Chains A and B, each alone.
Chain A
């Protein structure tokens, strides 16, 4: 084990190196390029025994990744934003192939307008595809999640691909101290990939991804994916326990921050939840019983754990870094669905913040807690877009310059 200052991207690359993947089909896109640059550097230096190929697009990249995985090797790939969407057709397809590859998505807002800052509309678009989703708050978690993702994906009860998600810029380029385990330690946790499922070889004809004619057959296969995804919940929990045993770091389907005695709860995912935790600390200093819940796993959705964690809470604010046009926050809808049948369900508020990397200021967190304390007397409509007056004025200035004032 050694300790180094690593960016989120470099931590991701270390996870892939330690997982001893066989194959990396790649295509560059900001802000994930550092991951594939780091890997290609190691591969060309002979540090990694891995085949690296630059593909002609993300659509091709995800196809090659899925096809190689179906042939029986351990595969990694990475993308972001528009790249994920360009390959989106194949996201569904390779999930249907039931191949256990791992893809890192470095979240970034979607066109249009085109931008570089992060939000989660890219990764959440894959919510219903069959890909499992792990969301990371910090650089250490990125490295660890890659290893855990392979353990979960390759389990016979799962055999589904996994997306490990991190925020672009906020995490991809943030340098933090990261513990890098030794390869022997990792091998104990994640043995070499020897698939027992069928793969392509002479004398063993196999048809993969074949057509079905008829909804009854189609439904069968889709439902199998749903069941496998649900199996992943237990597999993931077991993976967490074994990870802790091997490496000492504790993960779960959700992270609870000062939640035990909390009455007012923020729900956030990925790196912006660090800001949320700071806001919880400030609120606590003012005597507000604040806490934060961070789902780490979004697919499968850890509904039981979330219900348990929110049992008896007064009010909850879901801060979505995404927007479903004409509806609002995607996580808010997930939470509302999760809590609907609860007898003592908390009052639920929806805030949209951090779109395209927009900062969420301490004042805005104060505003959110203020609304949570008011509970059913809250003055905001749902969803409420977080946007300060200063930001509004700045926008008006630009509109004046553009002649659209």
Chain B
């Protein structure tokens, strides 16, 4: 792949490595993200999957991937990636497979496994400097089981197990990863495919752990219209709710900063999971708190206000 940055969607690779006809929900933001990620990763990939929505992408005997797939379990996809990577390296060293048979090893996980149960094995894999890609499709709840609160659920979001709205704040997975100082990590969005594509191009030059967290609209969980997925993903970024950034060996930089931040309310009011903040009465305190948290985030980087 050329090292020239991609400048527009027209320059994105034309190949599709994820085929249609999956069991994913209509309007799944995660699937859109994955499609872009796999365009950039190519077809010589083995995806190591943790239990989550995407476990249902490969159902015997069907698979939507041009690449290989290994389902592990909820807590241990990074450990599965370790085994596959190490085995491939052994086979390469011993000359049992040719260098062109080599594969990129990719962990694919939802936020439930990534932020909670799988955190220990993830930390272990980063610590061991495992050469792998880690893609987290983050819909901010345990989506596959019907939308229960996860450590990724943002403050005030309603889920099936936080019906009044979550009281605590979202866990900072990017920060946790960054404290390990891996070569490359990034947040991405399916609404910013050019930004996403360039991050994969940049990541490719580093050997070691490479993280991509994508905030993904989840129509059934968020109670939104499937056709609004792209708009919502874009609003999350334009309001500053989801910061597009990257970090190289621990140094964080934002890759896209809106010229004018839209009020976060524009993003929240579109979603059923935040509807309790607007009706039957406006919950000013909680709405104000969400906006404050967004402001505080950007102020820390001297970007806002």
- Residues on A close to B: CB < 8 A? 22-23, 25, 51, 53, 55-57, 59-61, 63-73, 75, 89-90, 93, 200-213, 217
Contact = CB atoms under 8 A, between A and B. Distances in A.
A91 B65 CA distance: 27
A162 B123 CA distance: 29
A93 B72 contact: yes
A204 B123 CA distance: 30
Given A57-B121, A67-B70, A67-B79, A201 B55 contact: no
B76 A60 contact: yes
Nearest to A203: B101
A66 B81 CA distance: 11
Given A71-B91, A200-B88, A65 B83 contact: yes
Which of B55, B58, B82 has the most C-beta atoms of chain A within 10 angstroms of its own C-beta?
B82
Contacts of B65: 205, 207
Interface residues of B, number: 48
B18 to A, nearest CB: 12
Contacts of B78: 60
B73 A208 contact: no
A71 B103 CA distance: 11
A313 B71 CA distance: 50
Given A73-B91, A201-B97, A67 B80 contact: yes
Given A72-B87, A73-B91, A59 B101 contact: no
Nearest to B76: A63
B73 A90 contact: yes
30 contacts: A56-B121, A56-B124, A57-B124, A60-B76, A63-B79, A63-B80, A63-B121, A65-B83, A68-B87, A69-B87, A73-B87, A73-B91, A75-B83, A93-B72, A200-B88, A200-B103, A201-B97, A202-B43, A202-B44, A202-B102, A205-B63, A206-B69, A207-B68, A207-B70, A208-B68, A208-B69, A210-B60, A210-B63, A210-B69, A211-B56
B60 A212 contact: yes
B100 interface: yes
Interface of B: 43-44, 46, 48, 55-56, 58-61, 63, 65-73, 75-76, 78-84, 86-91, 94, 96-97, 100-103, 120-121, 123-124, 127-128
The DSSP consensus for interface residues of chain A is mixed
A311 B115 CA distance: 58
A75 B102 CA distance: 20
Contacts of B81: 67
A64 B43 CA distance: 23
Contact of B79 (A59, A205, A210): A59
A62 to B, nearest CB: 8
Nearest to B82: A64
Contacts of B60: 207, 210-212, 217
